[in-house]
Structure 1
Amino acid sequence: MKVVKFGGSSLANGEQFQKVVNIINADAERKVIVTSAPGKRFDRDTKVTDLLIDYAQYTCKKQETALIFKQIWARYQEIADYFHIAAEQLAPLRQELATLPANKYRSQAVLLATFKAHGEKLNAQLLTLILQKKQIAARYLDPQPAGFEVGGPANDAHILPQTYQNLQRWQEPATLLVVPGFYGINENGEIATFSRGGSDITGAIWARGLQADLYENFTDVNAIYAANPQIIKHPQAIKVMTYREMRELSYAGFSVFHDEAIIPAIEVQIPINVKSTNHPELPGTMIVTEKEFKPQHVITGVASSNHFSALYLHRYLLNKEVGFTLKLLQIFYKYNISYEHMPSGIDDLTVIFDKRQFTAQVRDQMCNDIRAMLAPDYLEWIDDYAIIMVVGEGMRNKIGVMKNITAPLAQKHVAIHMINQGASRISIMLGTKRADAAAAVTQIYQQFFN
């Protein structure tokens, strides 16, 4: 049995919906379909989720919502018209969207989550109507009767353990199930959403709950590539990779998956197949467990990301001082800041952060606290920072990998500010200036794949 998730680009208009219908109809093993909200139809288009956020904000400010409602509903009406769905069948969906501003909400956070979730909810209901019109037996299943329970903040929810037990009752569905991604129901009976990209998480949760044989994730790319196609022209497609390779590369900017999306599938070792909605005949990329994987290359992929900053601290005899790192972490805790990495020497250390956590005020206050409490000899905040991740199961037992990574960078005068290799030995992290990131990716890719 297969759980299948379709991304926003796969469900953006009538033509894409028809491809989805064909994919569903082509394999009887596809039993559970997870939908995203309609994505962009063209480059300057707006995702329905973004329109729903505007709808929520207008409602909170008690501003006129008729125009934004019309804009959102037009997206669904366009798809319905493509399939000649009757107006009376669409009426309940339109009414549900129209009455969102009039409903009562416990807080503005719950209001925002509820509005956002309707991108996926209405799309799942619409897909169900289309499948039924095509004489494909299908049922829309809402998260509440499904038992899809979540906890945490309304707009950053996490799955509750009992959900996996609840989902087991749907292991042998009598008909095709169409379920909305991105959200679940909390203990108050309210909608709560995952972070953006959460439909991927929903698909992985359903796959785990049903103990699926395969989780198929359909998107707008033919496969996962060994490097960013915006940096490398026609990069090599990755045929097979491991869960942990995918996790490392997602962290550094691979955008096929939400960063935490595959964890539920990893926990029960369900294979994942990333495939193209536009070319479903292609094999895509299989993501498997380490024990099932035989590396074909030294590295599997190289990725870069520019959303990092670094804090450099120098203090003589730092390695002799007991409690220095503890005090530093307590300051981070005070400001609710998490750090990514902390490579160190005997007299200095560098702390790497996701810079999206900071405002200028928080950054300055935190640095002032560090100066006051730890009295470093030197402190520098580095905003011009990029991370390069070189990832591959094939690196584990290969001698000379570091030389092959750094030598071509030296030839192109790319300065390396930091090197960190994880204990798993399948990833090497480099810190560079942002302006050097694309050149670093290019040189490393050419060294290992050309």
Structure 2
Amino acid sequence: MKVVKFGGSSLATGSQVQKVLDIIQADEDRRIVVVSAPGKRFDGDIKVTDLLKSYADQTIAGADTTEILMTILARYQEIAAHFLLEDDVIISQIKQQLIHLNRVHYPSFDHLYAAFMGHGELLNAQLIAAVMQKKGLPATFVSPAELGITVTGSPRSARLDQESYHAISNYQIDDSRLLIIPGFIAYTNDGYAATFSRGGSDITGAILARGFHADLYENFTDVSAIYTVNPKIVPHPQSISEMTYREMRELSYAGFAVFHDEAIIPVIEANIPINVKNTNDPQTPGTMIMPNHAVNPSNPVTGIANDNRFAALYLHRYLLNREVGFTLKILQILATYNVSYEHMPSGIDDMTIIFDKAQLTPEIKAHISHDIYATIAPDELEWLDDYAIIMIVGEGMQQHIGTFSKITAALSEAGINLPMINQGASQISTMIGVPVDRMNEAVHVIYHAVF
């Protein structure tokens, strides 16, 4: 049995939805279908999820929401009309649910945003099920609540209650029917809507693959494979036919857009293979993501990822390596301001702490600087806001000596300095820091050095 997830671009229009139906019908093992909200139809278009956020904003502001509500409804009507369902009861039901959203009392604005934005998937799953039934396919809409999926934590960055897996596995599946399930949205034990973080539909798909003990998790998107590097930086790069879970995690963390780095943890824990495929070209094999032992790397490097979302704090103090508790004091200061760090490469007198810039405001940075000066009195402290990270990842790097020397030689020849180099203990990834304005150039140089 396969769990199949379709992204927003795969469900943006009626013609795209027809491709989805063809894909589902082409393989009888595709029984569990996870859907995203309708995405962009063309460059400059607005995703339904973003329209729902505007609806939430206007609701909070007490503004007239008639126009935004009708804009959202029109996206679903457009898909329904393609299948001659524009006057069907399903459109009336979607309209009533949209109207009801701004008549509910929510415990907080976060709860309100979660309910509004999560409805993109919830309504689309109902519509897709209705379309399938119109086409004579035995499909049933199933809500996360019916499956027993419950979450805890922040309403807009929910965490799965692990008891959900037991509930999902006990759900009685009718082998003659397709289950159409919304991604992204789930519910707390109190019955409030919540959403997963970035890549939420991917998370839902992975959870269901594990809960239903699927043989394969297929993730359909708008690319035919995962590429070795961002095609917007290096035109026509090589594609990746297979890769390991931990390679995918390393690359996702550092900027690969196919998966949010947390999204595939449920299938990793269950050792379920993932197949990334293209809705617009479903016959192409795509990229298989598998357990470490199942992949025999043919190249030292599998992929190169890059991201400029980072900032760094550089500290210098003589003999810092001899002071017991030095790092602990810094971590306690960061915890005071609810700031986590990404990496912390250090030397005998120096330390660089790398952060996700989203956590930092000028006020927080000023407080952290003040507390560090007061607590450990560094000889030098400097914030580096112009900071990008490039991650070079490959299981084969453990067996191939000299790969990184080839990379550094190419960067040196290009005149690109490396203010930071950090290799993980697994030896499958090496991280380098570069100035933001030379990031794309450095990615080019590295790609041509290793591929």
Could you say which TM-score interval applies, normalised by the shorter chain? over 0.9
Q: Which amino acid aligns with 2:57?
A: Q
Residue type at the aligned position of 1:93: I
1:126-178 CA deviation, whole Å, 9 max, x = no partner?
Answer: 00011111111000001111101111111110101110000012364341100
- Give 1:296-375 correspondences, 5 Å limit: 296-375=298-377
Q: TM-score, normalised by structure 2?
A: 0.98
The Cα shift of 1:118 comes to 0.5
Superposed, 1:18-417 pairs within 5 Å as 18-85=18-85, 86-170=87-171, 172-174=173-175, 175-417=177-419
Shift of 1:336: 0.4
Percent of paired sites with the same residue: 56
Unaligned runs of 5+ in 2: none
Structure 1 unaligned segments of length 5 or more: list them. none
2:129 partner amino acid: T
Structure 1 length-normalised TM? 0.99
Partner of 1:14: 14
Find the aligned partners of 1:326 and 1:89 in 2 and give their Cα distance. 57
CA distance in 1, matches of 2:253, 2:110: 27
Amino acid at match of 1:192: A
Q: 1:102 deviation in Å?
A: 1.1
Shift of 1:328: 0.3
What code does the residue aligned with 1:321 have?
Answer: E
AA at the equivalent of 2:415: H
* Cα distance between partner residues in 2 of 1:6 and 1:170: 22
CA distance in structure 1 between the aligned counterparts of 2:198 and 2:307, rounded to whole angstroms: 18
Please say if residues 300 and 399 of structure 2, whose CA atoms lie closer than 8 Å, have aligned partners that are also in contact: no
Report the aligned-residue RMSD.
Answer: 0.9
CA distance in 1, matches of 2:198, 2:247: 22
* Matched residue count: 449
Distance of 2:436 and 2:4 partners within structure 1: 37
Q: Distance in 2 between matches of 1:402 and 1:89?
A: 57
Tell me the amino acid that sits aligned with residue 309 of structure 1: A
Structure 2 CA distance for aligned equivalents of residues 325 and 364 of structure 1: 19
| Inter-partner Cα distance in structure 2 for 1:381 and 1:173 | 58
- After TM superposition, the structure 1 stretch with the greater mean CA deviation from structure 2, 264-273 or 434-443, is 434-443
- CA–CA distance in 2 between the matches of 1:419 and 1:361? 29
Assess if the C-alpha contact under 8 Å between 1:225 and 1:301 holds in 2: yes
Counterparts of 1:171 and 1:305, CA distance in 2: 43
| Greater shift in the superposed pair: 55-64 or 219-228 | 55-64
Amino acid at match of 2:149: F
- Which whole-Å deviations, capped at 9, do the CAs of 1:400-448 have from their partners, x for residues lacking one? 1220110100010011011100000000000010111111111111111
